[in-house]
Chain A
Amino acid sequence: LAKTTQPISMDSYEGQEVNITCSHNNIATNDYITWYQQFPSQGPRFIIQGYKTKVTNEVASLFIPADRKSSTLSLPRVSLSDTAVYYCLVGVTNTGFQKLVFGTGTRLLVSP
């Protein structure tokens, strides 16, 4: 299994950039790296996905080094509404459902 390791929690202030790193040492060749955001009393919500190098969308960037053993979710200029739990997920859906393990995530607290 592509086990992932993330920090349990992080604190930040409004307007700062937040970087959350996920370690996945035994990632497989065809695995993708996906990040989700979860608010209280809601299901996880897809944020961004990547395979290698850098991916950017309207809400975040994902940095993946050449060895793909880790990845970093970058949230630019966070606001109070970014307070949530963030999950890193490694795997594929067509052949590896058992590998799709959501860890305990990183609880991000953004303060004024």
Chain B
Amino acid sequence: NAGVTQTPKFRVLKTGQSMTLLCAQDMNHEYMYWYRQDPGMGLRLIHYSVGEGTTAKGEVPDGYNVSRLKKQNFLLGLESAAPSQTSVYFCASSYAGQARYQPQHFGDGTRLSIL
């Protein structure tokens, strides 16, 4: 049982390049999330998904797109990378639950540097 797996673990891009970060979970969770973590700012929610084929914006969605074509996968895309997107990106997943907080399970992150 791998939990939440993120690929790649590290990547260096040049400004203007595009790339896709992949998140895969094997826990049959309905909800999936993408966060970014910057020094001194905690984790900020980029986009999230409540089920296959659905996505929604989080706190900082600009410059990112997402897709959830399969329940187990959640993709984060950068169409034209900018230095301000240098960060550590975390994917998480959780059960849907009802009227309570369902613990989120996190991957180990993707460290992205944009030059």
Interface residues in chain A, defined as those with a beta carbon under 8 Å from any beta carbon in chain B: 30-32, 34, 41-46, 49, 51, 87, 89, 91-94, 97-98, 100-105
Contacts and interface: CB of A to CB of B under 8 A. Distances in A.
Contacts, number: 71
Interface of B: 4, 31, 33, 35, 40-45, 48, 56, 58-59, 90, 92, 94, 96-109
Contact of A41 (B59, B103, B104, B109): B109
Nearest to A103: B42
Given A43-B107, A43-B108, A93-B94, A98 B45 contact: yes
A85 to B, nearest CB: 9
A43 B92 contact: yes
Contacts of B44: 102
Contacts of B107: 43
Q: Among the interface residues B31, B96, B98, B103, which one has the most CB atoms of the partner chain A within 10 A?
A: B103
Q: B40, B41, B42, B90 — which one has the most chain A CB atoms within 10 A of its CB?
A: B42
Contacts of A105: 42
